[in-house]
Amino acid sequence: MIVLRNVEKYFEHGPTKTFVLRRINAEIKEGEFVSIMGPSGAGKSTLLHLLGMHDSAWTGEYYLLDHAIHKINKKDRMEIYKKYFGFVFQSYHLLDSLTVYENLDIPLSYRNIKKGERDSIVCDVLDRFQIVGKKDLYPNQLSGGQQQLVAIARAIVATPKIILADEPTGNLHSNQGKEIMELFKKLNEGGTTIIQVTHNERNAEYGNRVINIADGWISD
Amino acid sequence: MNAFLQDIRYSARMLAKTPGFTLSALLALTLGIGVNSTMFSVVNAVLLHPLRYRSPERLAILLSESTTKNIQQWPVSDFDFDVWRRENHVFEQVAGLGQQGFNLTLGSEPERVGGVLITANYFDMLRVRPAIGRNFRMDEDQKGRDPVAIISHGLWQRRFNGDRGALGRPLILDGTSYTLIGVMPPDFMRLEDEDVWVPWVVNLDDPVKARGRRGMVVFGRLKDGKTFREAQTEMSQIAGRLSAAYPESNKDLGVRVSSWESMQISDMRTSLIVLWSAVGFVLLIACANVANLLLVKANARRREVAIRLALGAGRFRLIRQLLTESSLLALLGGIIGMLPTLWGVDLIRRSIYDPSGETKYIAVDGAVLGYTLLVSLFTGICFGLLPALTATKTELSEMLKQGSARGSVSSGNRMRSAFVVAEISIALMLLIGAGLVLKSFVKLRAVDPGFNASNVLTLRLSLPANRYGTVDTQGAFYRDLLDRVQALPGVQNAGVTSELPIVGGQDDTAVYFPGKKEESGLANATIIHYSTVSPNYFAAMQIHLVAGRGFNDSDTAKAPPVAVINDKMAREYWPNANPIGKNFKTGDKWWTIAGVVANIHHAGLESKPTPEIYLPYQQFPSPSVHLVVRTMERQGSLVVSIRQAVLSLDRNQPIYEIRTMKAGIEASLNLQQVAAGLCGAFAVVALILATIGIYGVMSYVVSQRTHEIGIRMALGAQQQDVVRMVVGRGAWMIAFGLAIGTLAAAGITWVLTDLLFGISATDPSTYAGLAAFLAAVALVASYVPARRAARVDPVIALREE
Stretch among A109-118, A185-194, B326-335, B397-406 having the lowest mean pLDDT: B397-406
* Secondary structure (3-state) at B128: coil
Give pLDDT, residue B145: 86
A49 chain-B contacts, CB cut-off 8 A: 396-397, 400-401
What mean pLDDT comes out for the span B340-351?
A: 93
Question: What is the separation of C-alpha B428 from the centre of its chain, rounded to a whole number of angstroms?
Answer: 24
Q: How many Å apart are CA B36 and CA B39, to the nearest integer?
A: 5
Whether B414 has its CB under 8 Å from any CB of chain A: the answer is: no
Question: What is the separation of C-alpha B576 from the centre of its chain, rounded to a whole number of angstroms?
Answer: 42
Q: How many Å apart are CA B255 and CA B236, to the nearest integer?
A: 6
Q: How many Å apart are CA A200 and CA B589, to the nearest integer?
A: 119
Interchain CB distance below 8 Å, B396 and A54: yes
What mean pLDDT comes out for the span B619-646?
A: 86
Distance from CA of B761 to the nearest CA of A (A): 52
Q: How many Å apart are CA A51 and CA B771, to the nearest integer?
A: 57
CB within 8 Å of chain A, chain B residues 294-313? 303-304, 306-313
* Of residues A29, A26, A58, A5, the one with CA closest to residue A219: A26
B6 chain-A contacts, CB cut-off 8 A: 109
* Of residues B696, B680, B686, the one with CA closest to residue B286: B686
Distance from CA of B416 to the nearest CA of A (A): 26
Integer CA distances (angstroms), A39 to A36, A43, A199, A204, A212, in order: 10, 9, 7, 14, 9
Whether A199 has its CB under 8 Å from any CB of chain B: the answer is: no
What mean pLDDT comes out for the span B354-366?
A: 84
Give the count of beta carbons closer than 10 Å to the beta carbon of residue B9: 12
Integer CA distances (angstroms), B101 to B78, B112, B167, B655, in order: 20, 7, 21, 12
pLDDT at A168 over 90: no
* Secondary structure (3-state) at B519: coil
Mutation site, A79, A103, A110, A150, interface B, largest B CB count within 10 A: A110
Residue of B662 and B296 predicted with greater confidence? B662
Q: How many Å apart are CA A101 and CA A114, to the nearest integer?
A: 16
Burial environment of residue B560 by CB neighbours within 10 A (0 to 12, 13 to 18, 19 or more): exposed
pLDDT at A210 over 90: yes
What mean pLDDT comes out for the span B437-449?
A: 92
Q: How many Å apart are CA B230 and CA B580, to the nearest integer?
A: 51
Q: How many Å apart are CA A156 and CA B235, to the nearest integer?
A: 82
Interchain CB distance below 8 Å, B397 and A49: yes
Give pLDDT, residue B406: 41
Write out pLDDT tens, residues B770-798: 999 999 998 988 888 888 888 877 666 66
Interchain CB distance below 8 Å, B396 and A49: yes
Give pLDDT, residue B70: 60
Give pLDDT, residue B519: 59
Amino acid of residue B644: Q
pLDDT at B481 over 90: yes
CA dihedral B76, B79, B81, B84 (to 10 degrees): -120
What mean pLDDT comes out for the span A189-216?
A: 92
Give pLDDT, residue A220: 65
Amino acid of residue B592: T
> How much of chain B, in percent, has pLDDT values that exceed 70?
94
Write out pLDDT tens, residues B392-403: 877 777 677 655
Write out pLDDT tens, residues B151-175: 999 999 999 999 999 999 999 998 8
pLDDT at B408 over 50: no
Distance from CA of B5 to the nearest CA of A (A): 11
* Of residues B680, B22, B17, the one with CA closest to residue B336: B22
Integer CA distances (angstroms), B625 to B268, B636, B732, B778, in order: 29, 21, 64, 57
Sign of CA pseudo-dihedral B51, B52, B58, B64: negative
What mean pLDDT comes out for the span B426-441?
A: 91
pLDDT at B85 over 90: yes
Instruction: Report strand pairing: A193-197 vs A16-28.
Output: unpaired
pLDDT at B529 over 70: yes
B303 chain-A contacts, CB cut-off 8 A: 93
What mean pLDDT comes out for the span B233-241?
A: 94
pLDDT at B742 over 60: yes
Give pLDDT, residue A195: 95
Whether A96 has its CB under 8 Å from any CB of chain B: the answer is: yes
Q: How many Å apart are CA B529 and CA B602, to the nearest integer?
A: 9
- Number of C-alpha atoms within 13 angstroms, CB side, residue B552? 5
Give pLDDT, residue B154: 93
HEC secondary structure over A162-219? EEEEECCCCCCCHHHHHHHHHHHHHHHHCCCEEEEECCCHHHHCCCCEEEEEECCEEC
pLDDT at B299 over 80: no
Residue of B196 and A95 predicted with greater confidence? B196
Q: How many Å apart are CA B779 and CA B800, to the nearest integer?
A: 29
Give pLDDT, residue B66: 79
Question: What is the separation of C-alpha B75 from the centre of its chain, rounded to a whole number of angstroms?
Answer: 25
What ipTM was reported for this prediction? 0.75
Distance from CA of B15 to the nearest CA of A (A): 11
List, as one string, the DSSP characters of B572-610.
HHSTTS--TT-EEEETTEEEEEEEEE-----S-TTSPP-
Q: How many Å apart are CA A109 and CA A107, to the nearest integer?
A: 5
> What is the count of residue pairs from A and B with beta carbons less than 8 Å apart?
67
Please, which pLDDT band fits residue B73 given cuts at 50, 70 and 90?
low
Q: How many Å apart are CA B735 and CA B728, to the nearest integer?
A: 10
Nearest CA in chain B to A167: B401
Cα-atom radius of gyration of chain A, to the nearest Å? 18
Burial environment of residue B637 by CB neighbours within 10 A (0 to 12, 13 to 18, 19 or more): exposed
Mean pLDDT of chain A: 89
Interchain CB distance below 8 Å, B311 and A107: yes
Mutation site, B15, B307, B318, interface A, largest A CB count within 10 A: B307
* Of residues B679, B678, B685, B676, the one with CA closest to residue B427: B685
Give pLDDT, residue B428: 92
Write out pLDDT tens, residues B533-588: 999 999 999 999 999 999 998 998 889 999 999 999 999 999 989 999 999 998 88
| Helices B670-704 + B315-351 axis angle, to 10 | 150
> How much of chain A, in percent, has pLDDT values that exceed 90?
45
For chain B, give the number of residues: 801
Mean pLDDT of chain B: 88
Give pLDDT, residue B571: 95
B313 chain-A contacts, CB cut-off 8 A: 106, 110
What phi and psi, each to the nearest 5 degrees, are found at residue B113? Answer: -125, 145
CA angle in degrees (0–180, nearest 5) for B611-B614-B618: 160
pLDDT at B409 over 80: no
Interchain CB distance below 8 Å, B313 and A110: yes
Give pLDDT, residue B404: 46
Write out pLDDT tens, residues A100-144: 999 999 888 888 888 899 999 999 999 988 899 999 999 989 988
| Helices B410-445 + B764-790 axis angle, to 10 | 140
Give the count of beta carbons closer than 10 Å to the beta carbon of residue B73: 13
Interchain CB distance below 8 Å, B311 and A87: yes
Instruction: Report strand pairing: B526-533 vs B612-616.
Output: parallel
Q: How many Å apart are CA B782 and CA B700, to the nearest integer?
A: 11
Whether A90 has its CB under 8 Å from any CB of chain B: the answer is: yes
Q: How many Å apart are CA B702 and CA B692, to the nearest integer?
A: 15
CB within 8 Å of chain B, chain A residues 114-153? 114-115
pTM: 0.79
Nearest CA in chain B to A151: B311
pLDDT at B676 over 80: yes
List, as one string, the DSSP characters of A69-117.
GGGS-HHHHHHHHHHHEEEE-TT----TTS-HHHHHHHHHHTTT--HHH
